[in-house]
């Protein structure tokens, strides 16, 4: 008898028909003699609907109350799935994060799981009940409801699998595994049977939303056996491996893209360059992460810095910089939301200096102008105008995953 944590995302539970299909899948695992803990997202579209409602009331809604609102989505899906399983004659119980005892930090909207109490869950399993847990939520040490950030149900699942020492954490989604790039952008994308945890970390951090970044971090920390597979046609999917030096590594393992970027420019007159150190300190103080950064000569007479931040931080960063113009020695701040980041990821990049050259020349041949770039041992990233995102992804995928590279 094995213990599986099975997570189903929004599309997988997007309708009553889908909830019935998930109930069948879970019951099948149970009938094979295994224990199951299920973790669910809200039905697809629900979290967006709730956010839209909150924003109609206030463009920047109170963060504590927004978390109270958003967690209702998962409360609906877990109750419906429990009903569907009970109807099939199996014992099931839905539990909210607070009822399980999922303790988090107090950062509303981006809380981190600090501890999971497993007593209640173990009791349910001992009584042969299928426990159905609301993903994406927790409770801070003052009893407030928190959320883990968009896509956070993956993280609930992996952390639960670690706490329960599950035999496998299975992330069921709407694609049948991790691909060489988003299969919705490039139909030539290929499913990877295996991906190393380090590569998956890089892919997730650079925009491959198939796994929430924190879930991959948690998997790596606890060495959780982790698999991504389809809830529509379950098969072997993709297994995340921890053999960092294995032969599984290829030069480039994937192409990732992210639209969640904003380019911010802090400009001044030539004789008075803004103080980068102070800009960085202000961002750190407000928990805002700067990603790419470069010195610019934006308009002929203005010198300054351009950097990128996550679009969630856009309004806040502009507000902070604008109210500190004198302090950072700048004259004005501009932002550009029409940008996207496209990256090639691979553990083999560090040992193959040809990759960077191939990367840039492929984009240049297609006439795609790069606005900024950044590279590390395992990735090369560029910022491009958003309209070029798809073309850039397909161009890079063709460059690194053409038939001849197989």
Stretch touching ligand ADP by CB under 6 A, among 23-31, 96-104, 124-132, 169-177: 169-177
Instruction: Give me the sheet containing 130-134, strands edge to edge.
Output: 92-95, 130-134, 35-40, 3-8, 168-173, 226-230, 238-241, 194-196
Using a 10 angstrom Cβ sphere, with 0-12 exposed, 13-18 middle and 19 or more buried, the burial of residue 42 is: buried
175 is a site residue for ligand ADP (CB under 6 A): yes
Among 153, 308, 343, 381, binds ligand ASP (CB under 6 A): 153
Q: Output the smallest distance, CB 263 to ligand ASP, in A.
A: 25
Binding mask 219-258 for ligand ADP (x = CB under 6 A): -----------------------------------x----
168 is a site residue for ligand ADP (CB under 6 A): no
- For 335-400, give the DSSP string: EE-SEEEEEEE-GGGGG-THHHHHHHHHHHHTT--EEEEEEETTEEEEEEEGGGHHHHHHHHHHHH
Instruction: Give me the sheet containing 379-385, strands edge to edge.
Output: 254-258, 339-345, 379-385, 370-376
State the Cα–Cα distance between residues 382 and 194, nearest whole angstrom. Answer: 26
Query: Restricting to residues 116-145, which ones interact with ligand ASP according to CB under 6 A?
Result: 135-136
Binding mask 52-91 for ligand ASP (x = CB under 6 A): ---------------------x------------------
The answer to whether the CB of 186 falls within 8 A of the CB of 393 is yes
174 binds, among ligand ASP, ligand ADP, Mg ion, none (CB under 5 to 8 A by kind): ligand ADP
Q: Output the smallest distance, CB 25 to ligand ADP, in A.
A: 14
60 binds, among ligand ADP, ligand ASP, Mg ion, none (CB under 5 to 8 A by kind): none
Number of Cβ within a 10 Å radius of residue 360: 15
Q: Output the smallest distance, CB 275 to ligand ASP, in A.
A: 37
Residue number with CB closer to Mg ion (73 or 151): 151
Smallest CA-to-CA distance from 276 within 313, 224, 328 is with: 328
Which residues would be at the binding site for ligand ASP (CB under 6 A)? Answer: 9-10, 41-42, 47, 73, 135-136, 150-153
């Amino acid at each position: 008898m094995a213990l599986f944590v099975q997570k189903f995302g929004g599309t997988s539970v997007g309708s009553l028909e889908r909830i019935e299909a998930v109930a069948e899948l879970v019951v099948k695992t149970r009938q094979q003699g295994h224990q199951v803990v299920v973790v669910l997202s809200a039905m697809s579209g629900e979290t967006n609907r709730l956010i839209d409602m909150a924003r109609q009331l206030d463009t920047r809604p109170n963060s504590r109350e927004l978390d109270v609102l958003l967690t209702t989505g998962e409360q609906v899906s877990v109750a419906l799935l429990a009903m569907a399983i009970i109807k099939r004659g199996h014992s099931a119980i839905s539990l909210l994060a607070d009822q399980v005892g999922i303790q988090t930090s107090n950062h509303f909207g981006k809380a981190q799981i600090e501890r999971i109490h497993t007593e209640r869950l173990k009791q349910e399993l001992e009584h042969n009940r299928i426990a159905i847990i609301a993903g994406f939520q927790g409770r801070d040490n003052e009893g407030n409801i928190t959320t883990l950030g968009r896509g956070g149900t993956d993280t609930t699942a992996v952390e639960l699998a670690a706490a329960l020492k599950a035999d496998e954490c299975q992330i069921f989604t709407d694609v049948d595994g991790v691909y060489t790039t988003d299969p919705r952008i490039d139909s030539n994308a290929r499913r990877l049977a295996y991906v190393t945890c380090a590569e998956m970390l890089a892919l997730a951090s650079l925009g491959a939303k198939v796994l929430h970044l924190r879930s991959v971090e948690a998997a790596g920390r606890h060495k959780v056996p982790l698999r991504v597979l389809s809830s529509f046609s379950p098969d072997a999917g993709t297994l995340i491996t921890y053999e960092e030096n294995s032969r599984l590594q290829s030069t480039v393992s994937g192409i990732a893209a992210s639209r969640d970027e904003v380019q911010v420019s802090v400009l001044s007159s030539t004789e008075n360059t803004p103080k980068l150190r102070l800009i960085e300190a202000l961002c750190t103080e407000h928990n805002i992460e700067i990603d790419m950064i470069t010195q610019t000569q934006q308009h002929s007479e203005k010198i300054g810095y351009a950097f990128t931040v996550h679009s969630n931080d856009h309004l806040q960063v502009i507000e902070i910089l604008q109210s500190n113009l004198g302090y950072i020695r700048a004259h004005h701040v501009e932002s550009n939301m029409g940008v996207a980041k496209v990256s090639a990821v691979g553990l083999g990049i560090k040992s193959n200096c040809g990759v960077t050259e191939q990367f840039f020349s492929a984009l240049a041949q297609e006439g795609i102008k790069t606005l900024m770039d950044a590279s590390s041992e395992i990735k090369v990233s560029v910022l491009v105008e958003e309209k070029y995102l798809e073309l850039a992804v397909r161009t890079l995928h063709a460059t690194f995953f053409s038939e001849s590279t197989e």
